[in-house]
Structure 1
Amino acid sequence: MSYLVRHRPVAAPALRLVCFPHAGGGAAFFRDWPRHLDPSVEVVSVRYPGRETRHAEPLIPTMDELSPQITAELLAEAPVPTVLLGHSMGAAVAYESLLRLEAAGADHFTRLCVSGRGPTPPAAVAGIRTRTDEEVIAAVTALGGPHVQIWEDPDLRGLFLPIVRNDFLLIDNYRRRRDAPLLRAEVTAFTGDRDPRVTPRDVEGWAAVTTGAFAAHVFEGGHFYLVPHAERVARLAVARHGA
C-alpha cells in the first residue's frame, strides 16, 4: 500500500507539502492542514506501515529500510515544487529522504522543514539501550503527545505500544552520517520554547546541513507546540524565507 496520503488532492498543484509524522504518529495527524493553505497547495502525509489503514503490514524498525521506500514513491510523483516537513522522528525521516532524492538528481524538492528535533540526537538518548515498555510510555507521556490517555486503556495500550516501541527503536538507533553530503534545498527549523528534549539552540544546528538558505522559528509550547500553532507552521512551511 502507498506511503502517501492526499488530504486534499489538487489536479495541477502549484506546490506540494509532504508531511512526515512523529514516532507513533499517523498520517491523520496532518489531516486538517489543507484548510490553513491556499487551494493550489496539495497537502500529502506519509503513512508508515503498521498503523491506520496499513495496520496489517509489518512495522519497519530501521531508517535504512524505511527512507528508501518513501523516496521511491516521492520520485514517482509528478515533479512540482515540493516541501518536506517532518516532526520529531519525522524530521529525521524527511531529512534522510531528501538526501536520497537529491542524490537521485531530483531538484524540485525545494525546502526541508524540521520540527521538534535537532540534527543530532538529544544527550538523553545517546547510546541508549532498548527501552522497556514502561520506559517507552514514560517517554511519550513526558513529551505530552496527543492522546496520551490511551496508555490507561489495556486494549488501546496493546494496539499502540508495538507501534511506538518500534518507532522509538528506529529513532534511538538512528545517527546522521558524518560524511553526509550537504543539502541543496533550503532548510527551515521549528521548535517549542518549552520542549523538554530539544532547545532552540539544538535546532539551529540544522543550518550546517545545507548550502541553501536557513531560517528558524521558535513557538510557545512544548514538544507538540505545532498542534495549537498548526496554521502558522503550515504557512511558514510554504512561504518564502523572510515572509
Structure 2
Amino acid sequence: MGKETKLFCIPYSGGSAEVYRKWSKSLYSDIQLIPVELPGRGKRIFEPLQDDLNTIVEDIAATIVSHVDSNDNYAIYGHSLGSLVTFETYYKLIEKGLHKPQHIFFSGRNAPQDRLNRTSIHRLPDEQFLHAVMSYGGNTHEIIHNQELLNLFLPILRADFKVSETYDHQEKKEKIASDFTVINGRNDHSATMYDMSEWRYYAGGAATFHTVDGGHFFIIENYGPVVDIINQTLTISGKILERQ
C-alpha cells in the first residue's frame, strides 16, 4: 500500500469503539486503526447521551476532520447503526470540505433509503425492548442478568435504536464518490430480509459485496474474514491512488 491509511471504525447500537481494538493485530502495518466513540458511550460515558442522528454525525465528522490532514489517506468502517452513521458522515465530511475517503465499508445493515420493514422497538417497555434486542444476538444476555450493567446500557441501547428507527432518509443530490464495500453476515436475519444490492443506488464509484459466516455480530464472532477484506481492499485502492 505504501502510504498509511487511517481507518475510522464506528460501532453498532449499544456498542463501544473498543470492539474494534482486537482488529489491530491482524490489520496490515500501514493501516492505522482509529475506533470512533459516540458521545455518552464507552470512554465518553460521562458526556450527555445523544439520540439525535445529526448531532452524532456532526460529532463524528469533527473527530475525523481533526485526525485527517490534506494529504492523508483515510477510510471509514461502520457496522449496523454505524453503517447508517457512516453514510451520513460521508456527506457531512464532503460538506465540510474534507477530501473523499479512500474507501468506505458498510457492514451489517440495509441501504439507508430501504425502509420496507420499519420497527419501533425503542418505544417498547423495558422487558419487551430487551427481548427484541436479544434477537440480534451479541452480549445482551450478560447485560440482562446484571442490574448494574442494565442500568448503564438500557438508556444507550434505547437511544441507539431510536436513532436508527426514527431515521428520515433525505435523498442525496450526489452519489458517494468513494468506492465502497458492503459486508453482510450469512445468518444475519436483520439484514437478509432486505435486498442488500440497494446500496448500489448511492454508488458513484465501484460497489463490492461480500458475505461472511456469522450472525449480526460477525465483526466480533468472525472478524478474521472482515479484516482480510479490509486489508486487500485498502491495498488495491492504495495502489490506484498512488498511480493517480
What TM-score comes out, normalization by structure 2 length? 0.86
**Helix, strand or coil for the counterpart of 1:58?**
coil
Q: Deviations over 1:31-73 (max 9, x none)?
A: 1111111222100111112122211111111111110121122
Residue 84 (structure 1) aligns with: 76
**Helix, strand or coil for the counterpart of 2:205?**
coil
Counterpart among 220, 232, 236 of residue 213 in structure 2: 220
Partner AA of 1:91 in structure 2: S
The answer to whether the aligner puts 1:101 opposite 2:120 as a matched pair is no
**Helix, strand or coil for the counterpart of 2:19?**
helix
Between 41-50 and 169-178, report the one with greater CA deviation.
169-178
Q: How many residues align?
A: 232
How large is the Cα RMSD of the aligned pairs?
2.3
The answer (yes or no) to whether the contact 2:13–2:80 under 8 Å persists in 1 is: yes
**Unaligned residue ranges in structure 1 (runs of 5+):** 1-11
Partner AA of 1:184 in structure 2: A
Cα distance change of structure 1 residues 179 and 42 upon mapping to structure 2, 3 Å threshold: closer
CA apart distance, 1:178 = 2.0
Residue 119 (structure 1) aligns with: 111
**Unaligned residue ranges in structure 2 (runs of 5+):** 237-244
The answer to whether the aligner puts 1:48 opposite 2:34 as a matched pair is no
What TM-score comes out, normalization by structure 1 length? 0.87
The answer (yes or no) to whether the contact 1:200–1:218 under 8 Å persists in 2 is: no
The answer to whether the aligner puts 1:65 opposite 2:55 as a matched pair is yes
Counterpart among 190, 197, 205 of residue 190 in structure 2: 197
Percent identity between the aligned chains? Answer: 27
**Helix, strand or coil for the counterpart of 2:123?**
coil
Partner AA of 2:44 in structure 1: R
Counterpart among 171, 176, 179 of residue 183 in structure 1: 176
Give, in whole Å, the separation in 2 of the partners of 1:230 and 1:14: 22
Pick the structure with more helix per residue: 2
**Helix, strand or coil for the counterpart of 2:64?**
helix
